[in-house]
Amino acid sequence: MRYVLRRLVLFVITLWVALTINFFIPRLMPGNPAEAMMARFRGRVNPAALKALEAAFGINTQKPLLQQYIEYLGNTFTGNFGSSLTFFPQPVSQVLATALPWTIGLVGVTTVVAFLVGTLIGLVAGWRRGGVLDSVLPPVFVITGALPFFWVGLLLVLLFSVTMNVLPNAGAYDVTLAPDFSADFIGSVLSHAILPAVTILIISVGGWILTMRNNVVTILADDYIRMARAKGLSNRRIMYGYAARNAVLPNLAGFAMSLGFVVSGAILVEYTFNYPGVGYMLLQAVNNQDYPLMQAMFVMITITVLVAILICDFLTVMLDPRARTEG
């Protein structure tokens, strides 16, 4: 219980520090979103409209900084991030709501699949060290893990979209279809997600395989594995009940981090395939100096990462009795 309380207190402090940094960074930068919008028109807009834009964006430089900070915290916890500069006058929360499901469906599912597949293959490769699987896969995935996302994506587009013409290469679905739960629309969404999902899988699965393989090889030399063999336990029980359970613990922290960063999207992948996810939207926000949207994304990414790490800590306590031992 004391461990859980410590983790919760650390979570609250880290979240407060991140939100405070998120508050001060845009205010330390020159200009504001309204001035950025005015700059787009290169002075062709009446400067008197600047005050109206500042009011629309919720900018009030006349208020004391402390009052602005308190209002910012209140707006953050209520989900009121103001209006987006890129998609003005849409609220930031509404803009994120349109992009987040696409990123979670693509990057989130692919990340979980990559972790499960990589962990299982790494477990078998480490258990059968020196075998065919252990000799072939690690060198292959060392190479694939170092490849750029956009390069792999462009190769897949060239092969399956340009040469074979069997899969679409851009967008999230066929724009001629109305978004609904019909079989045609769902099939279109799945077909458009295949190439970006395979791209992410090729790049990310190798890291999980290599990490799990090395963890298993290290654990097989421990005394409790020898004791389990001496007790006559089956290889299957030793592999899953002893080796896998302990080897996967270091991977949980990395998996939690990867789940947290799912909400930021695989920016290069979404940009390569013109996929309307959060990563593609973040790139648009940076290019357009959309401070409210960038702030909201930073808060969302921070909270997701912290929550994922907190859940990972709790799972570690459940799986490893040593984490529950004081001192």
**Of 299, 304, 306, 120, nearest in space to 211 by CA:** 120
Distance between CA 173 and CA 276 in Å, rounded?
10
145 sits in which H/E element: helix 132-145
- Which position has the token pair 């947290």? 260
| Cβ-Cβ contacts under 8 Å for 179 (sequence gap 6 or more) | 173, 185
For the chain, list residues with pLDDT below 70. Answer: 1, 3, 26-63, 134, 259-265, 319-327
On whether the CB atoms of residues 38 and 53 are closer than 8 A, the answer is: yes
Nearest to 302 by CA among 244, 260, 262: 260
What are the structural domains, with CATH classification, of the chain?
15-78 (no CATH), 104-324 (1.10.3720.10)
Closest to 122 measured CA to CA, from 254, 240, 212: 212
Query: How many Å separate Cα 324 from the centre of its chain?
Result: 29
Q: Which residue in 188, 106, 104, 187 sits closest to 153, CA to CA? A: 106
Q: Angle at Cα 54 formed by Cα 49 and Cα 58, nearest 5°?
A: 150
| 28's tokens | 């330390």
Helix 2-28 crosses helix 65-78 at what angle (to 10 degrees)? Answer: 120
| Cβ pair 258, 205 in contact under 8 A | no
What is this structure's pTM? 0.71
Taking the C-alpha atoms of residue 137 and residue 36, their distance in angstroms, rounded to an integer, is 50
**Encoded tokens for 145:** 């893990």
How far apart CA 54 and CA 59 sit, in angstroms, is 5
- pLDDT of 327 reads 44
Q: Report the C-alpha gap between 113 and 90 in whole angstroms.
A: 34
Distances, alpha carbon 143 to alpha carbons 123, 205, 272, in Å: 20, 12, 21
Q: How far apart are CA 108 and CA 115, in angstroms?
A: 11
Cis amide bond preceding 26, omega within 30: no
Query: In sequence order, which residues have a C-beta less than 8 Å from that of residue 246 and are 6 or more positions away?
Result: 215, 219, 320
End-to-end CA distance of the chain: 14
Question: What backbone torsions phi and psi does residue 231 show, to the nearest 5 degrees?
Answer: -75, -5
Helix (H) or strand (E) holding 195: helix 183-219
pLDDT at 34: 61
Distance CA 184, CA 110 (A): 22
